[in-house]
Amino acid sequence: MAKDKSLISIFLIMLKLGALTFGGGYAMVPLFEDEFVQKRGWIACEDMANMIALSQSVPGAIAINCGILIGYRLKKLRGALAAVAGIILPSLVVLTAVTYLYEAVRDNAYVTGALRGIRAAVVALLVSAFWRLSKPFRKDIISIAFFATAFLLSLLLNLNSIYIILGAVVFGILIGMFRIKKPEKDGAP
């Protein structure tokens, strides 16, 4: 495991992820997990799952939100800035170039086919990341039941995700309160 948690390391890792990830912020989720949990061991699996959940729950792009949390966890404010700069720079360069080239390639069959293939690969990466990141929660029947309920509400009722997130917050607080063991007073039954 690499021990170098320098600002330049954080920037370069995020630059690599930003440059090599197609499909938007969700496509970065498995790569964040792979780089920071599996390869380097800088962040615990459960912490990464919590960072990803928080990143999805606040306004903004998930990749940037998660980058901020990862960078901050590793090197506070300067780490967050290095991470965000690394994530944003490749997109900024590519989107600037694409803006100028889009008209020339938008109807190209090869470009269309490549983008379809990339979308399919992104789905596989997301499923893989979900499976790995859910490992700490698979032992808890309450978490599994709540996941299934939230998934079904989203899928079948097309319920707005904000209601599911707010429900999850309330449910989590209630479960947390229920699980907290109150210390027994001396002499109390």
The yes-or-no verdict on residue 38 having pLDDT over 80 is yes
The b/e string for 24-38 (b: 16+ C-beta within 10 A; e otherwise) is: ebbbbbbbbbbbbbe
Q: What percent of the chain has pLDDT over 70?
A: 92
| pLDDT of 180 higher than 80 | no
- Residue 10: which pLDDT band, with cuts at 50, 70 and 90? very high
Q: What six digits make up the tokens of 146?
A: 């709540």
Contact assessment for residue 63 and residue 87, using Cβ atoms and an 8 Å cutoff: yes
Most confident of 78-87, 152-161, 175-184: 78-87
pLDDT attached to residue 43? 92
Query: C-alpha angle 131/167/68, rounded to 5°?
Result: 60
The answer to whether residue 1 scores a pLDDT higher than 70 is no
Please choose, from the candidates 6, 55, 14, 27, the residue with its C-alpha nearest in 3D space to the C-alpha of residue 119: 27
Tokens of 135: 């490992």
